[in-house]
Amino acid sequence: MTGALWTWDNLVPAAIGAADGAPVVPITGFSIDTRSLQPGEVFVALRDVRDGHDFVLEAFRKGAAAALVSAEYERKAGDGALLRVRDTLEGLRNIAAAARRRSQARIVAVTGSVGKTGTKEALRNCLSRLAATHAAEKSFNNHWGVPLTLARMPADVRYGVFEIGMNHAGEITPLTALVRPHVAIVTTVEPVHLEFFGTVEKIAEAKAEIFAGLEPGGVAVLNRDNAQFDLLARAAGVHGARIISFGRHENADVRPEVFALNADGSDIAVRIGGRRIAYRVGAPGAHLAQNSLAVVAALDALGADVEKAVPALAEMRAAKGRGARREIGLSGGSALLIDESYNANPASMRSALAAMATVPRTRFSRRIAVLGDMLELGAQSGDLHAALNEPVDAAQVDLVFACGPNMRRLFEALPAARRGAWAPTSEGIAGALAETVRAGDVVMIKGSLGSHMAPLIDALIAKGERECARV
């Protein structure tokens, strides 16, 4: 089993399970989805939206090395090596804990109301310039995503970067206990998931759970510009953390001397540890520039070579659904499409609108915002949607298309000249949007995942393909 991620002899006791057979190929990873499973991976039969035990045979057909199953699972013809445990999620957590125990890596954990994934990816890219680095795929930040990421961590990596999310109190505590970070970042605390918390302060308290897992002598990296800084700092202090703050606040430890935002990125210079470090962030947006300060702080806290690592930030590109930009050919020219369709909350809406405003009108003269409901905001939802009138105005948006019952509050607060169309669902505005968009427009599409904004992206791309085909 040379080159294996785990040997069977080590994996079985790590899971606190019992072996039923043995793999005939090296164990190269773990998967919870047969659609993406790769040969050599262990299939973890979680009971979640569907019962993974129904797919064990399919996993072996696709080349799984073994399957992690419950003790009562009945072996079928065609099954390979089985690792039987009392509960498969518990077994995965046990493997994750064992992976952390065997690792000598320096670990960073990232949480926050917004910016978790972007900050995690920035750290991954920076640390990978220095040494072998392991990080979560996509947004694997929940009760199964974090242990899955840990289970996949090779024993010999130098750095690990983990994203930890939550939408209820108490969710972060067991995850940070697994990860045991040396550095914990809270990007910011904003009115997200208010439906479950009621106040922003309660959200901050839940985010502060991340400090409970810090290794002795650990560091908390906190946003000095955020209104919840003092609450977070007190919570970090309770767990003995050293605090490094970042932001444009005059008392921030990592504070930019240069903070120049433009349409295709940002140029930043900070002073840290007596050194002046200048770098470029390759994706646009004040929020990405702000979170790059947290990246610099974390690199320094890890004892990493900051100067050697930060050039990786220039290679950052916005991901699909998180600000990715694409020009689409239309009759008479092109339009710029900004895909922010993955998710939304008041803070990320403001950031996305501000980022769109950096696109020069000399290239794309008309700004169109297509906004879907922000979900899980509780009793304050209507007011928070109506309050987007201010950032829409600040971004000098020319036309707003809106969908969802809550986003109607914003639509009705707009002057008539800015109203494109409103409908209860995204499907209801698709036709009017496609008819309106023309060459010279910049179109930003954003909403919570449940608002189903992604099909609007696809519709505009299809419009461009049709118009180009006619040329």
Domain positions in the chain: 8-86, 103-315, 324-470
Query: Can you tell me the distance from the alpha carbon of 33 to that of 346, in angstroms, rounded to the nearest whole number?
Result: 33
**What are the b/e assignments for 320-347, b being 16+ CB within 10 Å?**
ebbbbbeebbbeeebbbbbbbbbbbbbb
Q: Give 471's pLDDT tier (boundaries 50, 70, 90).
A: low
Q: Tell which CATH classification among 3.30.300.20, 3.40.50.300, 3.40.1390.10, 1.10.620.20 matches the domain 8-86.
A: 3.40.1390.10
Q: What is the mean pLDDT of the chain?
A: 95
DSSP bridge pairs for 232: none
Q: What is the CATH number of domain 324-470?
A: 3.90.190.20
High-pLDDT (> 90) share of the chain, % = 89
Query: What pLDDT is attached to residue 1?
Result: 36
Which carries the bigger pLDDT value, residue 48 or residue 207?
207
Mean pLDDT over 105-115 rounds to: 96
For 360-384, what is each residue's pLDDT tens digit?
999 999 999 999 999 989 889 999 9
Q: Residue 2's pLDDT is what?
A: 43
Average pLDDT (388-412) is 97
What band does 466 get if pLDDT is binned at 50, 70 and 90? confident
Quick one: which of 71, 14, 1, 93 has its CA closest to 40? Answer: 1
Percent of the chain at pLDDT above 70? 99
Report, as an integer, the average pLDDT of 264-292: 94
Which residue, 425, 470, 429, 467, is CA-closest to 450?
425
The pTM assigned to this predicted structure is 0.90
Per-residue pLDDT reduced to its tens digit, 179-201: 999 999 999 999 888 888 889 99
Convert the pLDDT of each residue in 296-325 to its tens digit. 999 999 999 999 999 999 999 988 898 999
CB neighbours (10 Å) of residue 238? 11
Residue ranges of E strands in 66-181: 66-70, 81-85, 106-111, 133-135, 159-163
What CATH number does the domain located at 103-315 have? Answer: 3.40.1190.10
The 10s digit of each residue's pLDDT in 142-174 is 999 999 999 999 999 999 999 999 989 999 999
Split at pLDDT 50, 70, 90, the class of 353 is very high
